[in-house]
Amino acid sequence: MPSESDIESKFCEYARKRGCLPIKFVDPSRKGAPDRIVLCPFGRVIFFEFKAPGAVEKKAHARHQMNYATILRTLGHVVEYCCGYHDACDCLEEFLDVDF
């Protein structure tokens, strides 16, 4: 079974091929930041949190992630939790296909 790191690396290659810039997202001031911020064409931005299929997260860590996601969504950003490579690619494709 692939690790979260393997999924994330493979997804970043895919995102680049789609004309996006996936950046490792780290916020030293607060816990729970999504794994990647993906800058897409036309100034669009989407945040990704990667989960390996079958992974079990600690409840405290998941709570921090959910709180961070709530803040980002309140500001109008899209945050996706993706379980596996294909799930992440599907989320990106859906995001890129939405007219704005």
Domains (range + CATH), the chain: 4-97 (3.40.1350.10)
Average of per-residue pLDDT values in the chain? 90
Mean pLDDT (whole number) for 38-45: 96
pLDDT at 57 over 70: no
Which pair of tokens denotes residue 65?
């992630």
Closest Cα to residue 5, out of 50, 44, 54?
50
Q: What is the reported pTM? A: 0.89
Residue 72: HSE in the Cβ half-sphere, 13 Å Cα cutoff? 22
Give the distance from CA 28 to its chain's centroid. 18
